[in-house]
Structure 1
Amino acid sequence: MDFNIRRTFTLIDDKRVEAGRQANVPLRKVAVIYILENPYIGRYVEDLSPLIEASEGLGRQMAASAVRALDGMGVQSYGKGGVVGLLGEQEHANALLTTTFANPFREAIGGAKAWISSMTKVAAPGAVIDVPMNCKDDVYVRSHYDGMTLLIPDGPMPDEVAIIFCMGTGGRINARVGGMRYEEILASA
């Protein structure tokens, strides 16, 4: 299956201050969004494996965009999401966001061990989605529980699916709720 990619976006957010405190190192978050024509609009399809299989190539393309936007910065957190236009169903986004899709991102950033938080929904154009993020190597690193709130202008249209992948270069600025630290993961590797 080949996807008809209608639009792509890459958002770079460099956060330097939180609660009036300057960060030692800015936190860069990147969101890569691809809007695809939904091949299954308006009908129920039992076997979604063609979407799952084809999502690997999509993941490779999106991972390359994310790595360019990171500009050599290392990745510590990630998350994924999808918004399906009103003529589709939520399961279409979920089929596109499996491990098959995500593994190219793991490869592009030099590996990752943790599951990837995700959020999907069906919505009208211009809907907001909160994509949850967590540490790429261990979900119990509390400082990396974060996310990105995204609005897709004019999308997805009713016959489209927006697929989203987010990456972050660190945890929250001023994180201080305890738990395992990212440095502990590095030391045990």
Structure 2
Amino acid sequence: MQERITDRPDDSIGLRKLVLYRDVVFTEAGEAPAQPARRASVAAVIRNPWAGAGPTTDLHAEQSRVAPVLARLLTDRLIDALGGVAEIEAFGKAAIVGTAGEIEHAGALIHTPYFGNLVREFLQGESIICFADTRAEAGETLVVPLWHKTHAATRSHYQTISARVADAPRADEIVVIAAASTGPRPHPRIGDRKTDPVVTTETLEKVPS
């Protein structure tokens, strides 16, 4: 389900729209998973505060002003969409910069403590947040990776959710995304990094060339 959220909580960041996507997997391979995981992403479409600026422009002032607003805006809606912060087990983040911006503008909003640290705190996580970013025209789909919010080595929670806003980003906009899941992939059974055997070229009898 994709819906447009109609309230406009903060005009200072040039917010044009918010888009929420949610899904629930009830069966996989013909069977119900032990725990039907719910996944969601929330995308904020904002004006790019650096559009048209040169590559030597200092990004810090706008970064420290805009990113914390986005962190609160997106995580509040993720928490509401997934039934509370205690329900959330995995998280991820992403950004798509319009064609008038630099890929560095995406990093300025999601790869710094002004966003990442606050998203982690609001979602009660401990792990580094996995991410994706790109520069693209409106309507680009971005696959957002997720992993466990407190145990990044928990392979069962390695999963993705696709995010797309049909009319964004415009050339002078950025789409900033936070995503989360309430559980692992359906029927996880490929082991865990903490319990894996040691595998090297020396421990295997044959490594295909």
The verdict on a shared fold, with TM-score over 0.5 as the criterion, is yes
Separation (CA, whole Å) in 2 of partners of 1:18 and 1:42: 47
Size of the alignment, in residue pairs? 180
Deviation at 1:15, TM superposition (A): 1.3
Structure with max Cα Rg: 2
Which deviates more from structure 2 when the two are superposed, residues 21-30 or residues 75-84?
21-30
Q: Write the letter of the residue equivalent to 1:101.
A: F
Q: Write the letter of the residue equivalent to 2:117.
A: N
Separation (CA, whole Å) in 2 of partners of 1:52 and 1:64: 20
Deviation at 1:180, TM superposition (A): 5.1
Listed one character per residue, the Cα deviations across residues 75-119 of structure 1 (whole Å, up to 9, x for unaligned) are 11000000000000111111110232123333333x211100011
1:143 is matched with 156
1:184 is matched with none
Separation (CA, whole Å) in 2 of partners of 1:107 and 1:61: 13
- Name which of 43, 55, 63 aligns with 1:52: 63
Secondary structure (helix, strand or coil) at the match of 1:59 reads helix
1:41 is matched with 51
Q: Percent identity?
A: 30
Secondary structure (helix, strand or coil) at the match of 1:68 reads helix
Q: Which residues in structure 2 correspond to 1:61-100 (within 5 Å)?
A: 61-72=73-84, 74-97=87-110, 98-100=112-114
Secondary structure (helix, strand or coil) at the match of 1:114 reads coil
1:114 is matched with 127
TM-score normalised per structure 1: 0.89
Root mean square deviation, CA, Å: 1.7
- Name which of 173, 180, 184 aligns with 2:186: 173
Q: Write the letter of the residue equivalent to 2:116.
A: A
2:116 is matched with 102
Q: Write the letter of the residue equivalent to 1:33.
A: A
Separation (CA, whole Å) in 2 of partners of 1:30 and 1:99: 23
Residue 154 in structure 1 maps to residue 167 in structure 2: yes
Separation (CA, whole Å) in 1 of partners of 2:183 and 2:113: 23
Q: Structure 2 stretches of 5 or more lacking a match?
A: 1-11, 195-209
Deviation at 1:128, TM superposition (A): 1.1
TM-score normalised per structure 2: 0.81
Listed one character per residue, the Cα deviations across residues 100-151 of structure 1 (whole Å, up to 9, x for unaligned) are 2123333333x21110001110001111111111111122111111111122
CA contact under 8 A between 2:93 and 2:144: conserved in structure 1?
Answer: yes
Secondary structure (helix, strand or coil) at the match of 1:17 reads coil
Secondary structure (helix, strand or coil) at the match of 1:22 reads coil
Larger strand share, 1 or 2? 1
